A and B are shown apart, each in its own frame.
Chain A
Amino acid sequence: MRTPMKNPVILMVDDDDEDIYLTRRAFCESRDGLIFRSVQNSTALFDYLHCRGEFAHNSDVDVPDVILLDINIPKENGFEILRKLRQDDQFGHIPVSMLTTSAAQHDVCKAYKLGASSFICKSVSAKGMKEVANNFCEYWFNFAKLPSTN
Chain B
Amino acid sequence: MSQAMLNEQIDVVDEQYKDIVDATESFFVRWEAGTAKIISCNQPFADRWSSTVEKIIGKSMYDIRGEEAGDSLRAFLAEIKPGESKTTVFTTRVADGSIRSVRAFTSAISRDGVTTIEYHTNGYDCTEEQLFRSARDSLFTIISDEHLCYQQKLEHLLAVGLEYYHLDTAIVSMIVGDTFEAKCVRSKNSNAISVGTQMQLDDTFCGQFIDSESKLAIDDVSNSQLKNLRCYKISEIESYIGASIHTANGPYGAVSFTSSEARRKPYSTEDLNFLQLIGNWIGLLIGNQEQVEFISHQSEYYQSLFQTVPAMMFLSDADGLIISASNRLCEKIEVDPDLLPGKNCHSAFDIDDKLGLIAALRDGDAQRLPLTFTLPNASYLEVEVNCSIKSVGTLQGVRMVVLTDVSERNRASRSVEEQNRLLETANENLNQFAFIASHDLQEPLRKIQQFSSFLEDDLEGSLSEDASYHLKVIVDASNRMSTLIHDLLRFSGASQEEPQHEPVSLNKLLEEVISELDITIEESEAVITLEPLPDVQGDKGMLRQLFVNLISNGIKYRSKSRPLKITVKGLGADYQEGVIVSDNGIGFEMQFARKIFEPFNRLHRNKDYKGNGIGLAICSTVCDKHGWRLSAKSEPDVGSNFLISFTQ
Q: Could you tell me which A residues sit within 8 Å of B by CB distance?
A: 18, 22, 25, 101, 122-129
Contact = CB atoms under 8 A, between A and B. Distances in A.
B446 interface: yes
Interface in B437-457: 442, 446-447, 449-451, 453-454, 456-457
Nearest to B442: A101
Contacts of B456: 126
B539 to A, nearest CB: 16
A32 to B, nearest CB: 19
A126 B457 contact: yes
A127 B452 CA distance: 12
A101 B446 contact: yes
A6 to B, nearest CB: 28
Contacts of B447: 18
Q: Which of B447, B450, B451 has the most CB of A within 10 A?
A: B450
Contacts of A18: 447, 450-451
A127 B442 CA distance: 20
B560 to A, nearest CB: 32
B482 interface: yes
Interface string B412-454: 0000000000000000000000000000001000110111011
B453 A125 contact: yes
Contacts of B449: 124-125
Nearest to B457: A126
B446 A126 contact: no
Contacts of A127: 453, 457
A123 B450 CA distance: 8
Interface of B: 442, 446-447, 449-451, 453-454, 456-458, 482
15 contacts: A18-B447, A18-B450, A18-B451, A22-B450, A123-B450, A124-B446, A124-B449, A124-B482, A125-B449, A125-B450, A126-B450, A126-B454, A126-B457, A128-B453, A129-B454
Nearest to A18: B447
Given A22-B451, A125-B449, 16 more contacts: A18-B447, A18-B450, A22-B450, A25-B454, A101-B446, A124-B446, A124-B450, A124-B453, A124-B482, A125-B450, A125-B453, A126-B450, A126-B453, A126-B456, A126-B458, A127-B453
A89 B446 CA distance: 37
A123 B482 CA distance: 13
B517 to A, nearest CB: 19
A129 B450 CA distance: 9
Contacts of A25: 454
Contacts of B442: 101
The interface centre, meaning the residue of A25, A101, A124, A128 with most chain B CB atoms within 10 A of its CB, is: A124
A25 B451 CA distance: 12
A101 B482 CA distance: 13
A22 B452 CA distance: 12
Contacts of B457: 126-127
Contact of B454 (A22, A101, A122): A22
A-B pairs with lowest CB-CB distance, top 8:
A126-B457, A124-B449, A125-B453, A126-B454, A126-B453, A124-B450, A124-B446, A18-B447
Nearest to A123: B450
Contacts of B454: 22, 25, 126, 129
A122 B453 CA distance: 13
Contacts of A125: 449-450, 453
Contacts of A22: 450-451, 454
A149 to B, nearest CB: 33
B511 to A, nearest CB: 21
Contacts of B451: 18, 22
Contacts of B453: 124-128
Contacts of B446: 101, 122, 124
A118 B220 CA distance: 147
Contacts of B450: 18, 22, 123-126, 129
Contacts of A129: 450, 454
A101 to B, nearest CB: 7
Nearest to B460: A126
A129 B454 CA distance: 9
Nearest to B478: A124
B478 to A, nearest CB: 9
A18 B451 CA distance: 9
A102 B451 CA distance: 19
A127 B446 CA distance: 15
Nearest to B446: A124
A97 to B, nearest CB: 19
B392 to A, nearest CB: 76
Contacts of A123: 450
Contacts of A124: 446, 449-450, 453, 482
